[in-house]
Amino acid sequence: MNRFYIDKLIVSGGGHKTTVIDFKPGLNFILGPSNTGKSLVMDCLDYAFGFTPKKNRPSKIVDNNYGYERITLHLATDNGTVILERKIGDTKISVSGTDPTVDHGTYSIGHKAKNNINAVYLHLLGINEVHSVRSAETGSKTQNLTWRSMLHLFFIRQADVARESSALLAPGSVGHTASAAVLLFLLTGQDANNLDADEDPKISEAKKKALIGYIQKKVDEFTRRREMLEETLSSSKITDPRSSVEQVRKEIAELQAQVDAATRESQQLMSQIYEWNSKLSESRTVGHNFAVLRQQYQSDIRRIGFIVDGASTVSPVRKKVKCPICGEETERIQDISFINASAAELEKIKRHLLELGDAQQSIEYQQENIVATIRTLEEKKDEIDTLISEQLQPKLSAFEDELEHQLKLIQLSSELEIIRQDETQYRSELFNKETEETSVSSKHNILEDYDYDIICGFENKLREILKASKIGGATTARLNMENFDIEIDNFKKSVSMGGGFCGILNTITTFAMSAYLIDLDRYAPGFYAVDSSLTQLSEAEHKEQNDTIKQNFIEYLIAHAHERQVIIVEQTKRMPFIPAESEENGIHVIRFSQNKEEGRYGFLNEVYNPEDQ
C-alpha cells in the first residue's frame, strides 16, 4: 500500500528570512514554551493539506501571517517527492516534485472543482478511483470520499485533541454517518458505490438492553478471570509449561534411575554383609570349639601329668590277696607299665595343644579380616543410604513438587485459552447486539456494517498501547458501538474522564487506529501528528515518574519510533523528560527557546513576542 510522510515545511515571502522545519521519518518532537509557534506549525501543515478557514474554525496563519506569503510542504513518497505550495489566503495549491506518478499543476481546495487537491492526496494513498460513502442514516444519501474526511485520524489539532466526542469521528461539519463510513472504507474497502436497500431488524429495545447487560456481565466475569490467570501465569516466569513438564519428567526419570541403582547397590551390600556375618558366626563357633578343646587338652595334660608324676615315684610291690571266687590266697604284683604309655599320651596331647594354638591364631586373624570387611561394607552402605535419604530423595521430592506445579500451570493455561475464547465470543455477541438496528426501518445505522473481527484487532492494538502507558483498566478497554468511542471499566470516556485524560485517550485511540490500518496494509499515510496531547493531563504528585502515563506513553513512542513517522507538538514543561536526539533510534527533537540569545526562538523567523522585541 502507498505511504507518504512529511519531509519539510517552509514558510517564506514578504521579505522575511525563510522559515524551515525539517522532519525525519521516525519520531519528531516539536517542543517549546507557550507563544513560540508550536501550534502554528500544525496550522501551516493543515493549511497545506487543504484546510478551508471558517468563522468558527479560523486559520492562525491566515489571520496572523506576520507578512509571510506562502507555505510550501515537501512530502516524501516511495517514488520521490511531492511539493505543494499554497499562497496564504488563496484557494489554489501548486503541485510539483520528483514523483512521476503525480501530475504537476495547480489544484483547487474546493471539493466541487474539477481539478481539486483531494485527488492528489487520495492518489498518494493509492486511491485512484472515485468512491462514495453513506452520508446520512435516512435514505440512500452518499458523498464522495475525501482526504479531509479522514485526516482527523492521522492529524489532530490542538482544538480537537481533548474533545469529549469520539476521536474516531471527524470534528466539524462531517456527519457521524459519513465519518464512520469513511473509516469503514479505510478498514475494509467497503463503499457505497452500489448501495443496497437497508434491512431493519425489529427487536425490542428493552430486551436488547437487558441482553446487553447480561452479556456485559459475562464479559466482565471472563475478563476478571482472564486477568487473574494471566497474572498467575506471568508470575510463574515459565513461558512454555509443556516443555518444562517434559524436562522435569526427564530429570525425575534420571533421578529415579539413580535412586533405583543406589537402592540395588545398598541391597547388594546388605546381602554381602549378611554373608560375611554368617562367615564370622561360623568362625566364632569354630573358635569357641577350639577354646573348649584347649580347655580339654589342658585338663588332660594336668590329669595325665599328675598320673605320670605320681607313678614315677612308685616301684613294683608283691602283695598277697584272697581270691573272691575260690577263697585261695594268691600274690599280686602292682603293674607300672602304664606310666610309659601315659607319658607318650601326654606328649601327644601337648603337640595337639600347640597345633590348636596355631589354628586359634589363624581363626582370630580370619575373624579380624571378616570384621574389617563387614565394617567397610557397612560404611559403604551408610554412604549410599545417606546419598539416597539426604540428596536423591529430597531432589526427587522437589522435582515431583515442581512437576505437580507445572501440571497445574498447564491446566491454568488450558483454562486461560478457553476463557479467552469465551471472552472473545461474548465480546463479539456484545458488539453484535449493540450494533443491531433498533430504530425505525427507514434508518440505517452505519455501525451495523462493521464486523467484530475488524474491531477486535483494533481493540487489541488499543489495549496494548493503553497497557504500555499504564492507564488504569487498560485490559477492559473496548470500542462502544453505541457512541463509537472507547470505554474503560464500562465507563464512557465523556462521563468518566476529565479534559486531560480525554486528550491522552483521544491521542492513543487515533494513534492505535492509524497504526492498525498500517498493520492491515490498508489505506493510510505514513505519518501521525498530534498537538498538545499531554498539556492538560495532570497526574498525582505521589506517583513515581516511571509510573506516570506521560512517561510511559512517550517511552512507548520511542520504542516504536522506527515503525512510522510521528510528530508530537508539546510544551516543554509538560514533557516528563526531553528525549535525546538520535538518528540511530529514530528520534528528532526541534526545540523553541523563546530566547533570542539561545537556540531557535520560535517557529517563524524574525517574529518575537512583544516583551522580547
Confidence of residue 336 (pLDDT cuts 50, 70, 90): low
User: So what's the pLDDT on residue 419?
Assistant: 86
User: So what's the pLDDT on residue 200?
Assistant: 44
Region of residue 188 (phi > 0: left; psi between -120 and 50: alpha; otherwise: beta): alpha
> Is the pLDDT score of 214 beyond 70?
yes
- 255 and 394 fall within a common domain: yes
Q: Is position 170 within any domain?
A: no
Q: Tell the residue number behind the cell numbers 509571510, with chain if given.
A: 68
Domain count, the chain: 2
Q: Cα(first)–Cα(last) distance of the chain, in Å?
A: 49
- 377 and 249 fall within a common domain: yes
Confidence of residue 201 (pLDDT cuts 50, 70, 90): very low
Burial bucket for residue 446 (CB in 10 Å: 0-12, 13-18, 19+): buried
Mean pLDDT, the chain, whole residue set: 86
Which residue did the predictor score with more confidence, 508 or 218?
A: 508
> Is the pLDDT score of 592 beyond 70?
yes
Q: How far is residue 525 CA from its own chain's centroid? A: 30
* Strands 27-32 and 19-22, sheet pairing: unpaired
CB atoms within 10 A of CB 557: 22
- 393 and 541 fall within a common domain: no
User: So what's the pLDDT on residue 196?
Assistant: 61
d(CA 3, CA 557): 19
d(CA 448, CA 511): 24
> Is the pLDDT score of 237 beyond 80?
no
Q: Tell the residue number behind the cell numbers 602283695, with chain if given.
A: 319
Which residues lie below 8 Å from residue 570, measured CB to CB, with a gap of 6+?
A: 29, 30, 31, 38, 532, 533, 534, 535
Which residue did the predictor score with more confidence, 174 or 144?
A: 144
- 255 and 382 fall within a common domain: yes
Domain carrying residue 392: 241-399
463: amino acid identity, one letter: R
Highest-confidence segment of 89-98, 107-116, 537-546: 89-98
157: amino acid identity, one letter: R
d(CA 167, CA 181): 14
Q: Is position 212 within any domain?
A: no
> Is the pLDDT score of 337 beyond 70?
no
d(CA 89, CA 243): 68
3-state secondary structure of 84: strand
> Is the pLDDT score of 315 beyond 60?
no
User: So what's the pLDDT on residue 25?
Assistant: 95
Contact assessment for residue 586 and residue 24, using Cβ atoms and an 8 Å cutoff: yes
Q: Is position 306 within any domain?
A: yes
Instruction: Select from 399, 426, 443 the last residue of a domain.
Output: 399
Q: Is position 302 within any domain?
A: yes
- 248 and 394 fall within a common domain: yes
What's phi and psi for 435, nearest 5 deg? -95, 0
Please name which of 154, 126, 131, 128 lies closest in space to residue 142, comparing C-alpha atoms: 131
Q: Go through 38-64 and write b for each residue having 16 or more CB atoms within 10 A of its CB, e for each that does not.
A: bbbbbbbbbbbbbbeeeeeeebbbeee
> Is the pLDDT score of 199 beyond 50?
no
145: amino acid identity, one letter: L
565: β partners = 527
Burial bucket for residue 562 (CB in 10 Å: 0-12, 13-18, 19+): exposed
User: So what's the pLDDT on residue 265?
Assistant: 83
Confidence of residue 543 (pLDDT cuts 50, 70, 90): low
Instruction: Select from 360, 378, 399 the last residue of a domain.
Output: 399
User: So what's the pLDDT on residue 335?
Assistant: 56
Q: Is position 29 within any domain?
A: yes
- As a whole number, mean pLDDT of residues 362-378 equals 86
Highest-confidence segment of 120-124, 221-225, 292-296: 120-124
Alpha-carbon dihedral 466, 471, 474, 477, rounded to 10 degrees = -80
Give the three cell numbers for residue 148: 479531509
* Strands 142-144 and 155-156, sheet pairing: unpaired
User: So what's the pLDDT on residue 39?
Assistant: 93
**pTM for the full predicted model:** 0.68
Question: What's the number of CA atoms in the CB half-sphere (13 Å) around residue 472?
Answer: 8
User: So what's the pLDDT on residue 411?
Assistant: 79
Which residue did the predictor score with more confidence, 364 or 102?
A: 102
User: So what's the pLDDT on residue 434?
Assistant: 81
Confidence of residue 538 (pLDDT cuts 50, 70, 90): confident
> Is the pLDDT score of 590 beyond 90?
yes
Instruction: Select from 359, 383, 399 the last residue of a domain.
Output: 399
**HEC string for 570-597:** EEHHHCCCCCCCECCCCEEEEEECCCCC
Please name which of 86, 88, 124 lies closest in space to residue 107, comparing C-alpha atoms: 86
Q: Is position 189 within any domain?
A: no
CATH number for position 46: 3.40.50.300
Alpha helices (H) in 86-240, listed in sequence order: 117-125, 158-161, 176-188, 205-236
3-state secondary structure of 332: strand
Give the three cell numbers for residue 515: 497504526
CATH number for position 300: 1.10.287
Contact assessment for residue 154 and residue 514, using Cβ atoms and an 8 Å cutoff: yes
What tens digit of pLDDT does each residue of 434-460 get? 887 655 556 788 898 999 999 999 999
What tens digit of pLDDT does each residue of 253-278 get? 887 888 888 888 888 988 888 888 88
- 266 and 394 fall within a common domain: yes
DSSP secondary structure, 124-164, as one string: HHT--S--EEE--SBTT-EEE--STTTGGGTEE-HHHHT-S
Q: Is position 535 within any domain?
A: yes
